[in-house]
């Protein structure tokens, strides 16, 4: 069975990409994922805030006390060997490259212009096969318009694109007023791929201690349809390749994604829940399903259910919403 | 071959260490100011695999004390290595025993000493020759350097000469003045060192080494028949040394063009008056002599380079034959001696030369002795000139001091303060900054830029105050076309910068401004309004001296660039813009280059923000038009309030204002005894924001008061009628207590003593339910509330202190007790001081505290003010610092004295029972002093006893009177850091714990040498990066608690106030109550951990949750009751150790440098924490079996040899 695909210009042996997560934090785990059939690995995201905040904090908290007391000019060993940059990330990237044969995609999360933009070239230098730029501007400031948010994001993509020669994927949230338009502009800026959609830590409220806490819930298959709709809407309209992430839990989900037009699927929750070995199972299930349904390659099915090619495009559009809503009311007998 | 060396801008420590590291194979060290940097540099270079001139990387090891370092180098030398060490002061004294051995065995060796005062009536970290002078009898050759260049060169000469002579060398230079001065020098490269250090001699040294291949024995014991002769057998080596050193100096000159002599004379060829001097003072004396010669005087200076062996022949041949008067200047004091040592040597040398007929002097000279420069006291041209003038008097004083006003014994010379000889071509600049604003760092940077870019010679010297929080720094910079030989502070500067506007209110920052100077001021006011904000004194000086005033709001520029309070690059840019040393474009480019170089490793964002600050600086710099006359009515406020005691006004306030140099001898207590409670007069106003209390939200838990490192937020409970007369803004609420209905409760901040650390806000658990962001304590700007809070605080202090007899002490009530340790100079957010404060709240009125040298002795007793204070009855902690290494023994001595006095009082009471009365005697002897009420009753009895004794005649009654106070229970505390308890003082501590005496040990465990700058101790945890453990410590923290528990009779507690405050309070009470030795190991977060101290409490919690810091109390008294003595106070670890580690810079550095190593170390740390916890858990289940007499008779296991 030919499961091969092209994603970000990379020839992948299957669509099963390990999504940005701690899954590849340990080299042994990365090797296990490769052995289980992962076709590429996206590393954990390096966050703009993390980079900038730690740099500035480390700078202030180590420098601030120096040169102010006669008995101690400094309180730490000189920073000739440790660097408060992304060194550990880059180092891990280098080791990962040495450990696995499959492509390794570095991931960077940031939106504003700043020091973090130094890192894409370093990631390229360290051997990243591609870069996934994770855009997640939280537009909480009422003074900032949607257009400004989009422009800042485009600017970031432009700068990263200019800084590296390796392919650049852009991971998006679904929260844009005109996603199709924005996707097209990203495509024009030279994004080599779009990853739909990111999921984030969301705040939770601790009602005992009156605190807001971060929480992370693993994805569920119910999240897939949103992705399918947008992949289907974009497929065939962009130069950029497409990946689905969030909600892919079984072989059928993979088939749906590819049919909608995805070049790859990114898996995280299912692997966190069931371990690397689940990849093998997914792959076997996919092959079996394709054999049963007489598909010989993934390429044949790619995009056959996209907005451009599906038999009933209206379902992807607004009518779909109306029908489901009404159907649901019907089911509960609330009519 | 003059001037071939690479120009290098560096300080004395680095100049010396660079030679020592490259010419050594083994380096054993122990940190002590001001030499610590040499060891740190050597360690850092070795950890970067930087080789010595023979291509191997020197082994660098930090030892547990200087004694240990000396032992280690002695051993290394015996085994054939080239070894070195660095030290100062008391550290050098600890090396003396081994120095005798090393010299006695004729071992080539060179050690480097940044010479420092010895602790006598007080400790001083500053420079003089007291320490090296204590070594002149060891048999070491002693070579003195006077400048950074000399220190570099003579270090090389010493390393080379020792191999030739086989006599070991002590090379020294003035602490701080030379060790910390930055200067332009010519560097010696590896080939220079190889040229100087003869490899054949290295091989010869190795050939003498101990080896089983050619065994010999050393260190024999000799008897009356042989020792003496054998001791004399080494004479030829010592006799030959001066000649060899001169040859080595000559060889050095052929290579570098820099010529040195054993005794170097400079001055008039026919000089009649000559000063003999050693160290950096020689530079000043020579420059002054030159100035006088230009004005027709026949004077000169003989500087001593090789002090031991003292070559009489070389000495007299260096003196001009015309010499008639000699002043020998010593930078040390030997009370009771005929004179100080250099003087005695000179007198003896002249006498011998005359006797031997080798004196060239035409006439018998008059020789007088002068003392100068103790503890880095300035020695400037005015003082040097005063010495020459004294020599010109008809009858010069035979013994004098210079640089102080001695109005007690009248020994001091009068000095014309304004005398200045600095050549006009030297640019001089003075900068007043705050430690945390980066002024010193930026100035060091500027020196490098100017030195490197303009080819000018540069000099920088930096003066720090004695505080850790809000420390002031003064930078003295000079630039000039010729080498700068001015080892004294700038007197008249053409450029003065004040980097903190508040300084104008308390310091005369224009004191050193020359007429027409540029004055750069950082102020939160624009050019239009700043003039009106200046105190009248400042305006007057600006007008009178015609200063040109420039202003910038650097804080705003830095903030806009995202640099928080780091204004250094902004101010640095302004300095360049105004000084014109470089063109603005060139200067900006160079500053950026320097930023890239210094901060590149800190990450791109740090560089970017610094660049932004530089780019914005000049645009915000404005010249301010100066009116023709001062306009302000407001003057600088007095240093202390009018209600301060006389001594504080007369002495303390003068030191606080930076004028301590002006105080005469008579101002000082002659024995180092100082009044307590003086920190309260030093209102430092460091915090921009201070806590604001909301009684409506407060739950009255008092946690804020407990965590406050500066006793600047306090709680009181008092009857409501006392509120009458309270100032308008004074806040109070009903006290939430069933027993004390109708009482009021107040949390009050000391607005001018708070450092703004925010620990109180962080720890406050009480949130406003409708707006949880608002807590019972929030931070709010200080300025608008200052007046009101000042009044409220004064009123609060006037409210009565809690009645200790009516309280059951727990966390909450402990904070109603008066802290007798307040407003110390510790770092903002310090993790140690809350424990010290609690100690004084619980036992301060009957505590004796022996304090090991370290942070706690510095914030505990560094002048001008001291934080230990008294309660309304005048009682409070009696505190003293002896040394670093001896604190356990020192504190034990307190206990022995108290016990002896109690014994004597007991004995005398019984003897005088008839006169005193049986009832009172038995009351005094059988008193239960376990409670506060019992203590009060006992004090009443002692008072009664004294009253009854007063009319009784006779020596016995007087004796009993003098020891009667010992009948009140005393609490003896041995306080110190981990450097003391785990390392240098462990032997003594162990001994004290092994005994039964009732002492309480408080170890303020920051897990690193905090005071000297972050060197690892045996308390440093596995995985942490520290100096000497740069790559992360591989071995676990020493389990001091377990070691102490093994004795069985020692009370041991491991505490962390941030993790469990109640347990902390309990531990202190139990330790005090335990009748034998007690040990409390207290987790103390520290700036050397590398994170925001405001989060210290959170991090303490994580330490306990992760098992890294398990809380426990081991109480031997429980054994007696058949219970397990160990009680674990923290639950099994619930947090991964790595999650604790990742929050601190000291661990993160390891991860940054080497993520894989970090993973390994983090795993090991996790394993270690889990294992230790498991062991404790098992121990907590163990009761101590009771073995009766039978058991004693039949030991469980006999030694196998008996079978």
Per-residue pLDDT reduced to its tens digit, B456-496? 999 999 999 888 888 899 999 999 999 999 999 999 999 99
pLDDT of residue A1: 87
**Are the Cβ atoms of B1092 and A84 closer than 8 angstroms?**
no
* A79 close to B (CB below 8 A): yes
- Contact across the interface for B1030 and A92, Cβ inside 8 Å: no
Nearest CA in chain B to A65: B436
Q: What is the 3-state secondary structure (H, E, C) of B304-327?
A: ECEEECCCHHHHHHHCCCCCCEEE
Chain-chain contact of B1155 with A79 (C-beta, under 8 angstroms): no
Residue B1013 is nearest to which of A56, A71, A82, comparing CB atoms? A71
The pLDDT score that the predictor gives to residue A321 is: 52
Query: How many angstroms separate the Cα of A306 from the Cα of each of A187, A233, A245, A311, B232?
Result: 18, 6, 17, 9, 103
Query: Is some CB atom of chain B closer than 8 A to the CB atom of A71?
Result: yes
How would DSSP label each residue in A188-200? HHT--EEEE----
**Interchain CB distance below 8 Å, A92 and B609:** no
Compute the distance between CA of residue B892 and CA of residue B990 in angstroms, rounded to an integer: 12
| Inter-chain touch A72–B1012, beta carbons under 8 Å | yes
As a whole number of angstroms, the distance between CA A156 and CA B805 comes to 68
Interchain contact A202–B (C-beta under 8 A): no
What's the rounded mean pLDDT across residues B1173-1193?
81
Candidates A50, A53, A80, A82, partner chain B, best to mutate (most B CBs within 10 A): A82
Out of A6-10, A307-311, B131-135, B315-319, which region has the weakest mean confidence (pLDDT)?
A307-311
Residue B924, pLDDT > 50, answer yes
Query: Is pLDDT of B2 > 60?
Result: no
Mean pLDDT of B1186-1198: 52
pLDDT computed for residue A84 by the predictor:
66
- Asked if the bond preceding B864 is cis, omega within 30° of 0, the reply is yes
Chain B residue with Cα closest to A77: B1027
Give the residue with greater pLDDT, B100 vs A153: B100
Residue A207 in contact with partner chain B when CB distance is under 8 A: no
Percent of chain B exceeding pLDDT 70 equals: 98
- The answer to whether the CB of B520 falls within 8 A of the CB of B575 is yes
Strand duo A104-109 + A40-47: pairing = parallel
Contacts 24+ apart (CB under 8 A), B218-227: B218/B78, B218/B105, B219/B101
For residue B937, count CB atoms less than 10 angstroms from its CB and return exposed for 0-12, middle for 13-18, buried for 19 or more: middle
Mean pLDDT, rounded, of chain A: 88
Mutation target to probe the A interface, by most A beta carbons within 10 A, among B39, B46, B824, B1152 is B1152
Which residues in chain A have Cβ-Cβ distances shorter than 8 Å to B1010? Answer: 72, 75
Identify all chain B residues contacting A115, using CB atoms and an 8 Å cutoff: 603-609
Query: What counts of helices (H) and strands (E) characterise chain A?
Result: 12, 12
A114: nearest CB among B605, B1150, B1154: B605
B-chain CB neighbours of A52 within 8 Å are 605
User: What are the tens digits of pLDDT across the range B1007-1019?
Assistant: 999 999 999 999 9
Tokens of B821: 């340790």
Residue B241 pLDDT greater than 90, yes or no: yes
**What digits encode the pLDDT tens for the residues B978-1010?**
999 999 999 999 999 999 999 999 999 999 999
* Angle made by CA atoms B638, B866, B1065, in degrees to the nearest 5: 130
Q: Does A80 touch chain B (CB under 8 A)?
A: yes
- Which of B861, B828, B631 has the alpha carbon at shortest distance from B119? B861
Mean pLDDT of B1165-1180: 97
Q: What is the pLDDT of residues B543-576, one digit of tens each?
A: 999 999 999 999 999 999 988 878 999 999 999 9
Q: Is A144 on the interface with B (CB under 8 A)?
A: no
Report residue B3's pLDDT band, with 50, 70 and 90 as the boundaries. very low
- The tokens describing B209, both together, are 């080494």
A318: confidence class by pLDDT, cuts 50, 70, 90: low
Predicted pLDDT of residue A334: 38
Is residue B1144's pLDDT more than 80?
yes
Nearest by CB: B1151 against A69, A79, A88: A88
Q: What does the pLDDT read at residue A330?
A: 43
Quote the minimal CA–CA distance from A197 to chain B in Å.
29
Per residue in B585-628, pLDDT tens?
Answer: 999 999 999 998 888 877 788 888 999 999 999 999 999 999 99
* Inter-chain residue contact A84 with B606, CB threshold 8 Å: yes
Q: What is the mean pLDDT of residues B842-857?
A: 98
Give A8→chain B minimum CA distance, Å.
Answer: 28
Within 10 angstroms of residue A277's Cβ, the number of other Cβ atoms is: 14
Please state, in angstroms and rounded to a whole number, the distance separating the CA atoms of residues B1064 and B1053: 9
| Helix, strand, or coil (residue B114) | strand
Q: Which residues from chain A sit within 8 angstroms of residue B436, using beta carbons?
A: 64-65, 68
Instruction: Name the A residues in 237-266 with CB < 8 Å from any B CB.
Output: none
Of all residues in chain B, the one with the smallest CA distance to A114 is B605
Query: DSSP assignment, residue B522?
Result: E
Mutate to test the interface with B, among A30, A46, A64, A69 (most CBs of B within 10 A): A69
Integer Cα distance of B1012 and B66 in angstroms: 14
- Verify whether the Cβ–Cβ distance B1152 to A88 is below 8 Å: yes
**Which sequence positions of B are flagged as catalytic?**
33, 66, 116, 1011
Q: Are A320 and A277 in contact (CB under 8 A)?
A: no
Rounded mean pLDDT, A220-237: 94
How far separated are the first and last CA of chain B, in Å rounded? 79
List of chain B residues whose C-beta atoms are within 8 Å of the C-beta of residue A63: 438, 441, 566
What per-residue confidence (pLDDT) applies to A113?
62
pLDDT tens, position by position, B642-677: 999 999 999 999 999 999 999 999 999 999 999 999
Return the percentage of chain B with pLDDT > 90, whole number. 93
Q: Tell me the average pLDDT across A155-176.
A: 93
Average pLDDT score over residue span B149-159: 98
Residues of chain B positioned with their CB less than 8 A from the CB of A57 = 1091-1092
Q: What is the pLDDT of residue B1196?
A: 42
What is the C-alpha separation between B270 and B299, in angstroms, rounded? 8
Q: Which pLDDT tens digit goes with each residue over A108-131?
A: 987 776 667 788 999 999 999 999
Q: Which residues of B touch A211 (CB under 8 A)?
A: 772
**B1145 with A211: Cβ contact below 8 A:** no
Residue B1198 has pLDDT above 50, yes or no: no
Tell me which chain A residues have a C-beta less than 8 angstroms from the C-beta of B462.
67
A58-93 tens-digit pLDDT: 888 878 888 889 999 899 887 666 666 677 888 899
Q: What's the pLDDT at A214?
A: 79
pLDDT bin (cut points 50, 70, 90) of residue B977 is very high
Parallel, antiparallel, or unpaired for β A16-18 and A264-267?
parallel
**pLDDT value at B973 more than 90:** yes
Instruction: Give residue-wise pLDDT tens across range B803-815.
Output: 999 889 999 999 9
Q: Please answer yes or no on whether B1152 and A66 come within 8 Å at the CB atom.
A: no
pLDDT value of residue B1189: 54
Task: Classify burial at B409, counting beta carbons within 10 Å of its beta carbon; exposed 0-12, middle 13-18, buried 19 or more.
Answer: exposed
How far are the Cα atoms of A70, B151, B155, B425 from residue B148, in angstroms, in the given order?
18, 5, 11, 21
Pick the residue with more confidence: A321 or B1114? B1114
Cα distance from A212 to chain B (closest Cα, Å)? Answer: 10
- Which residues in chain B touch residue A76, judged by CB atoms under 8 angstroms apart? 1014, 1025-1027, 1088, 1090, 1145-1146, 1149
Contact B1152 A87 (CB under 8 A): yes
B249, B241 in Cβ contact below 8 A? Answer: no
Please tell me the number of Cα atoms within 13 Å of B533 on its side-chain side: 16
Q: Confidence class of residue B1027 from pLDDT cuts 50, 70 and 90? A: very high
Dihedral class, residue B413 (left if φ above 0, else alpha if ψ from -120 to 50, else beta): beta
Q: Looking at the DSSP assignment, which residues form a beta bridge with residue B1002?
A: B975, B1080
What residue of A is the nearest CA neighbor of B828?
Answer: A65
When pLDDT is cut at 50, 70 and 90, the band that residue A319 belongs to is low
CA nearest B656: which of B511, B860, B864?
Answer: B864
Q: How far is CA B385 from CA B381, B404, B489, B962, in A?
A: 6, 14, 16, 53
Beta strand extents in B805-896 (DSSP E only): 847-851, 878-880
pTM for this predicted structure: 0.93
pLDDT range class, residue A331, cuts 50, 70, 90: very low
Q: In this predicted structure, what is the pLDDT of residue B126?
A: 97
Contact (CB, 8 A) for B978 and B1005: yes
Residue B1194 pLDDT greater than 80, yes or no = no
B605 interaction partners in chain A (CB closer than 8 Å):
51-52, 55-56, 114-116
pLDDT of residue B1202: 36
CB contact under 8 A, A55 and B564: no
Reply yes or no on whether the pLDDT at B755 is more than 50: yes
| More confident of the two residues B4 and B470 | B470
Average pLDDT value for residue range B48-61:
97
């Amino acid at each position: 069975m030919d499961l091969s695909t092209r994603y970000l210009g990379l020839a992948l042996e299957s669509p099963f990409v390990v999504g940005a997560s701690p899954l590849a934090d340990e080299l042994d785990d990365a090797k296990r994922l490769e052995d289980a059939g992962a076709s590429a690995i996206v590393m954990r995201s390096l966050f703009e805030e993390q980079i900038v905040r730690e740099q500035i904090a480390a700078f202030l908290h180590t420098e601030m006390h120096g040169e102010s007391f006669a008995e101690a000019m400094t309180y730490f060993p000189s920073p000739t060997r440790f660097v408060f940059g992304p060194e550990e990330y880059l180092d891990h990237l280098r080791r990962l490259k040495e450990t696995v044969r499959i492509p390794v995609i570095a991931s960077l999360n940031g939106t504003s212009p700043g020091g973090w933009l130094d890192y894409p070239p370093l990631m390229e230098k360290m051997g990243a096969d591609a870069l996934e730029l994770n855009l997640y501007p939280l537009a909480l400031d009422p003074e900032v318009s949607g257009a400004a948010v989009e422009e800042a994001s485009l600017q970031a993509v432009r700068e990263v694109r200019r800084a590296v020669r390796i392919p650049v994927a852009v991971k998006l949230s679904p929260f844009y007023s005109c996603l199709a338009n924005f996707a097209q502009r990203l495509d024009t800026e030279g994004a080599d791929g779009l990853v739909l959609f990111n999921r984030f830590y969301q705040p939770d409220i601790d009602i005992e201690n009156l605190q807001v806490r971060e929480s992370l819930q693993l994805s569920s298959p119910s999240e897939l349809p949103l992705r399918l709709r947008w992949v289907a809407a974009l497929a065939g309209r962009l130069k950029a390749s497409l990946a689905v992430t969030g909600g892919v839990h079984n072989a059928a989900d993979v088939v749906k994604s590819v049919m909608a037009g995805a070049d790859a699927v990114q898996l995280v929750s299912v692997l966190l829940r069931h371990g690397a070995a689940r990849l093998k199972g997914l792959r076997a299930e996919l092959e079996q399903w394709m054999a049963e349904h007489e598909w010989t390659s993934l390429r044949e099915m790619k995009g056959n259910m996209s907005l451009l090619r599906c038999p009933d495009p209206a379902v992807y559009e607004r009518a779909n919403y109306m029908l489901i809503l009404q159907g649901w009311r019907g089911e509960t007998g609330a009519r | 071959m003059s001037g071939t060396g690479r120009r290098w801008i560096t300080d004395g420590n680095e100049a010396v260490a660079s030679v020592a590291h490259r010419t050594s194979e083994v380096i054993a060290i122990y940190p002590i100011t001001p030499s610590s940097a040499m060891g740190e540099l050597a360690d850092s270079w070795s950890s970067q695999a930087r080789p010595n001139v023979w291509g191997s990387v020197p082994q660098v090891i930090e030892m547990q004390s200087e004694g240990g370092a000396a032992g280690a180098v002695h051993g290394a030398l015996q085994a054939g290595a080239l070894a070195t060490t660095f030290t100062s002061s008391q550290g050098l004294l600890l090396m003396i025993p081994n120095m005798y051995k090393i010299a006695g065995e004729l071992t080539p060796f060179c050690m480097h000493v940044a010479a420092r005062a010895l602790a006598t009536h007080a400790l001083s970290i500053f420079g003089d020759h007291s320490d090296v002078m204590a070594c002149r009898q060891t048999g070491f050759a002693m070579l003195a350097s006077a400048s950074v260049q000399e220190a570099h060169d003579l270090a090389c000469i010493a390393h080379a000469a020792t191999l030739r002579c086989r006599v070991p060398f002590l090379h020294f230079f003035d602490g701080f003045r030379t060790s910390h001065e930055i200067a332009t020098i010519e560097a010696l490269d590896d080939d220079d060192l190889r040229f100087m250090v003869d490899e054949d001699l290295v091989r010869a040294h190795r050939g003498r080494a101990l080896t089983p291949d050619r065994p010999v024995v050393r260190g024999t014991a000799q008897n009356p028949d042989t020792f003496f002769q054998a001791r004399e057998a080494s004479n030829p080596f010592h006799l030959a040394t001066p000649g060899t050193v001169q040859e080595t100096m000559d060889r050095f000159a052929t290579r570098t063009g820099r010529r040195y002599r054993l005794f170097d004379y400079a001055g008039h060829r026919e000089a009649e008056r000559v000063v003999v001097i050693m160290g950096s003072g020689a530079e000043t004396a020579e420059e002054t002599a030159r100035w006088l010669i230009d004005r027709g005087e026949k004077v000169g200076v003989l500087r001593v380079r090789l002090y031991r062996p003292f070559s009489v022949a070389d000495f007299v041949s260096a003196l001009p034959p015309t010499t008639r008067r000699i002043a020998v200047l010593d930078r040390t004091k030997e009370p009771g001696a005929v004179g100080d040592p250099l003087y005695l040597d000179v007198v003896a040398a002249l006498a011998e030369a005359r006797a031997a007929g080798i004196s060239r002097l035409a006439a018998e000279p008059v020789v007088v002795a002068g003392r100068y420069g103790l503890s880095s006291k300035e020695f400037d041209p005015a003082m040097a000139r005063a010495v020459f003038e004294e020599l010109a008097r008809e009858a010069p004083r035979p013994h004098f001091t210079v640089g102080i006003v001695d109005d007690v014994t009248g020994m001091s010379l009068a000095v014309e303060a304004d005398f200045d000889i600095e050549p006009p071509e030297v640019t001089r600049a003075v900068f007043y900054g705050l430690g945390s604003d980066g002024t010193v760092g930026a100035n060091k940077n500027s020196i490098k830029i100017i030195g490197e870019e303009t080819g000018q010679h540069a000099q920088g010297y930096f003066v720090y105050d004695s505080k850790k929080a809000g420390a002031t720094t003064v930078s003295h910079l000079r630039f000039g076309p010729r080498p700068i030989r001015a080892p004294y502070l700038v007197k008249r500067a053409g450029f003065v910068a004040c980097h903190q506007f508040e300084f104008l209110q308390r310091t005369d920052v224009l004191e050193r401004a020359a007429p027409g100077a540029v004055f750069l001021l950082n102020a939160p006011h624009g050019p239009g309004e700043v003039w009106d904000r200046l105190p009248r004194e400042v305006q007057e000086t600006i007008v009178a001296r015609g200063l040109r005033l420039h202003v910038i709001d650097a804080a705003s520029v830095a903030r806009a660039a995202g640099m928080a309070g780091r204004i250094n690059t902004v101010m640095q840019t302004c300095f360049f813009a105004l000084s014109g040393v470089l063109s603005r474009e060139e200067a900006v480019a160079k500053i950026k280059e320097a930023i890239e170089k210094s901060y590149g490793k800190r990450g791109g964002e740090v560089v970017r923000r610094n660049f932004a600050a530089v780019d914005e600086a000049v645009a915000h710099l404005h010249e301010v038009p100066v009116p023709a006359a001062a306009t302000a009515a407001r003057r600088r406020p007095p240093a202390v309030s009018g209600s301060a005691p006389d001594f504080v006004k007369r002495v303390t306030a003068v030191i606080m204002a930076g004028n301590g140099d002006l105080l005469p001898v008579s101002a000082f207590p002659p024995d180092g005894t100082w009044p307590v409670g003086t920190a309260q007069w030093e209102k430092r106003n460091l915090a921009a924001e201070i806590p604001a209390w909301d009684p409506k939200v407060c739950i009255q838990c008092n946690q804020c008061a407990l965590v406050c490192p500066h006793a600047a937020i306090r709680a009181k409970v008092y009857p409501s009628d006392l509120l009458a007369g309270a100032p308008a803004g004074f806040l109070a609420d009903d006290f939430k207590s069933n027993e004390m209905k109708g009482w009021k409760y107040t949390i009050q901040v000391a607005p001018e003593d708070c450092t703004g650390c925010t620990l109180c806000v962080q720890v406050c658990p009480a949130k406003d339910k409708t707006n949880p962001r608002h807590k019972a304590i929030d931070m709010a700007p200080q300025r608008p509330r200052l007046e009101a809070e000042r009044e409220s605080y004064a009123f609060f202090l006037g409210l009565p202190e809690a009645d200790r007899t009516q309280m059951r002490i727990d966390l909450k009530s402990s904070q109603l007790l008066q802290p007798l340790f307040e407003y110390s100079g510790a770092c903002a957010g310090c993790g140690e001081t809350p424990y010290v404060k609690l100690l004084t709240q619980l036992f301060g009125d009957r505590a004796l505290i022996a304090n090991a040298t370290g942070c706690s002795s510095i914030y505990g007793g560094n002048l001008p003010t001291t934080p230990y204070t008294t309660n309304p009855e005048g009682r409070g902690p009696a505190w003293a610092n002896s040394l670093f290494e001896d604190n356990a023994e020192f504190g034990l001595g307190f206990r022995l004295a108290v016990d002896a006095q109690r014994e004597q009082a007991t004995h005398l009471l019984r003897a005088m029972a008839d006169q005193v009365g049986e009832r009172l005697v038995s009351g005094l002897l059988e008193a239960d002093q376990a409670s506060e009420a019992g203590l009060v009753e006992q004090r009443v009895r002692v008072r009664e006893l004294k009253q009854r004794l007063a009319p009784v005649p006779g020596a016995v009654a007087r004796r009993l009177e003098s020891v009667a106070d010992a009948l009140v229970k005393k609490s003896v505390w041995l306080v110190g850091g981990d450097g003391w308890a785990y390392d240098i003082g462990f032997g003594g501590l162990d001994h004290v714990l092994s005994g039964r005496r009732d002492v309480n040990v408080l170890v303020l465990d920051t897990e690193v040498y905090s005071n000297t700058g972050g060197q690892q101790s045996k308390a440093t945890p596995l995985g942490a990066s520290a100096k000497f453990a740069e790559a992360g410590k591989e071995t676990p923290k020493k389990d001091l608690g377990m070691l102490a528990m093994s004795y069985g009779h020692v009370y041991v507690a491991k505490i962390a106030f941030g993790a469990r405050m109640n347990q902390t309070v309990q531990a202190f009470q139990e330790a005090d109550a335990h009748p034998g030795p007690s040990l409390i190991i207290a987790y103390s977060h520290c700036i050397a951990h590398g994170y925001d101290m405001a989060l210290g409490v959170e991090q303490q919690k994580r330490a306990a949750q992760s098992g890294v810091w398990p809380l426990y109390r081991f109480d031997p008294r429980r054994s007696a009751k058949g219970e397990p003595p160990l009680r674990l106070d923290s639950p099994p670890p619930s947090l991964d150790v790595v999650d604790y580690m990742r929050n601190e810079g000291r661990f993160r550095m390891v991860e940054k440098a080497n993520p894989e190593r970090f993973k390994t170390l983090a795993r090991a740390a996790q394993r270690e924490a889990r294992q230790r916890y498991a062991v404790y858990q098992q121990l907590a289940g163990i009761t101590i079996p009771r073995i009766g007499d039978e058991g004693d008779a039949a030991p469980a296991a006999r030694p196998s040899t008996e079978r």
